[in-house]
């Protein structure tokens, strides 16, 4: 799978990038070729998808068994390579961190991206959830059916959301970082949750400059804990890779994958594959 984080790795825009030469990639799908001595539950020849701490863009990949999952019979390898990162991230933010329930509303930035599309699909599995999304206008056609209210990413979405929902939204998922933090917090209803999970502006800021990300962090309004307390608001962060590879929560993620594969098998969610590339072209 080719994800946003891979672009950031490629640009050197992450903390402690590994020394080159390195093989990028954090998720893959394929066929089991060999097993460790004590591995149970898998056999050679099984179709699987997996998380990998780098090195996924390779012909042969090695990863601990706790990060490996069987692929449903009717899921293709390309769908499977596009499934784990986006859907696990979206699911855990919505249900583990923000406790999405019937009748709530969600604002998601980059609604046309992999996580954004997964968020919209997962929201549609819960009754009466309203999804507000921002995306570049050229992506609107592809995602208009899964998002309740879609805005251009350059529009004044705060005013647009307030016009439709005067008291704001229950959940804000922000991968943009920088100047959106204050806006997102201002849109939260009491007991609402704001989750920062990525940083697209680092790579696709208005200026397309890879050096503009430092500037945008300076624009983050200082979050005042007393104000959070007075306004009954929750602010949270989410990093799937840290959860898996630094904080040893592979078991928790496995439970989430079981739920997601049930949703896939009952045709409620489906990964969107934008394009396929030969390894030489990557």
Judge whether residue 221 has pLDDT over 60.
no
Question: Quick one: CA dihedral 167, 193, 173, 89, positive or negative?
Answer: negative
Q: Which CATH architecture has domain 85-241?
A: 3-Layer(aba) Sandwich (3.40)
Tokens found for residue 271? 């990964």
**How far is 123 from 146, CA to CA, in rounded Å?**
9
Judge whether residue 204 has pLDDT over 80.
no
Tokens 């990964």 sit at which residue?
Answer: 271
pLDDT of residue 282: 79
pLDDT of residue 269: 96
Q: Give helix 157-164 / helix 180-187 axis angle, nearest 10°.
A: 10
Which of the four pLDDT bands, split at 50, 70 and 90, describes residue 207?
Answer: very low
**How far is 22 from 43, CA to CA, in rounded Å?**
29
In the 8-state DSSP scheme, what is residue 65?
Answer: G
State the Cα angle at 197 between 191 and 201, rounded to 5°: 120
**How far is 79 from 23, CA to CA, in rounded Å?**
21
Beta-carbon contacts of residue 234 (< 8 Å; ≥ 6 apart): 98, 191, 192, 193, 194, 228
Phi/psi of residue 188, nearest 5 degrees: -75, 135
Judge whether residue 47 has pLDDT over 60.
yes
**How far is 167 from 135, CA to CA, in rounded Å?**
22
Reported as a single tens digit per residue, the pLDDT across 226-275 is: 999 999 999 999 999 999 999 999 999 999 999 999 999 999 999 989 89
- Helix, strand or coil, per DSSP, at residue 142: helix
Judge whether residue 105 has pLDDT over 90.
yes
Instruction: Round the average pLDDT of the chain to a whole number and report it.
Output: 89
More confident: 140 or 234: 234
In the 8-state DSSP scheme, what is residue 48?
Answer: E
- Helix, strand or coil, per DSSP, at residue 225: helix
Which of the four pLDDT bands, split at 50, 70 and 90, describes residue 216?
Answer: low
**How far is 160 from 244, CA to CA, in rounded Å?**
37
Tokens found for residue 88? 């696990």
**How far is 275 from 81, CA to CA, in rounded Å?**
12
* pTM given for the model: 0.91
Reported as a single tens digit per residue, the pLDDT across 61-102 is: 999 999 999 999 999 999 999 999 999 999 999 999 999 999
């Amino acid at each position: 799978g080719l994800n946003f984080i891979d672009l950031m790795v490629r640009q050197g825009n992450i903390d402690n990038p590994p020394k080159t030469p390195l093989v990028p990639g954090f998720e893959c799908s394929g066929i089991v070729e060999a097993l460790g001595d004590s591995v149970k539950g898998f056999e050679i020849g099984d179709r699987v998808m997996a998380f990998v701490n780098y090195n996924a863009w390779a012909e042969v990949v090695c990863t601990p068994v706790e990060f490996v999952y069987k692929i449903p019979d009717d899921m293709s390898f390309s769908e499977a390579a596009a499934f784990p990162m986006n859907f696990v991230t979206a699911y855990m933010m919505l249900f583990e961190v923000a406790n999405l329930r019937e009748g709530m509303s969600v604002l998601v930035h980059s609604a046309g991206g992999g996580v954004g599309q997964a968020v919209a699909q997962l929201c549609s599995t819960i009754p009466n959830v309203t999804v507000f999304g921002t995306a570049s206008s050229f992506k609107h056609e592809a995602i208009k059916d899964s998002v309740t209210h879609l805005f251009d990413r350059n529009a004044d979405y705060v005013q647009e959301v307030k016009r439709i929902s005067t008291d704001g939204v229950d959940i804000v998922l922000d991968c943009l970082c920088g100047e959106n933090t204050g806006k997102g917090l201002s849109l939260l209803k009491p007991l609402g949750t704001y989750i920062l999970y990525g940083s697209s502006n680092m790579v696709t800021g208005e200026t397309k400059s890879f050096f503009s990300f430092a500037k945008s962090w300076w624009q983050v309004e200082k979050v005042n804990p007393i104000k959070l307390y007075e306004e009954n608001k929750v602010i949270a962060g989410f990093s799937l890779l840290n959860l898996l590879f630094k904080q040893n929560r592979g078991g928790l993620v496995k439970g989430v994958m079981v739920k997601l594969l049930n949703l896939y098998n009952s045709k409620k969610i489906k990964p969107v594959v934008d394009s396929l590339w030969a390894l030489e072209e990557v």
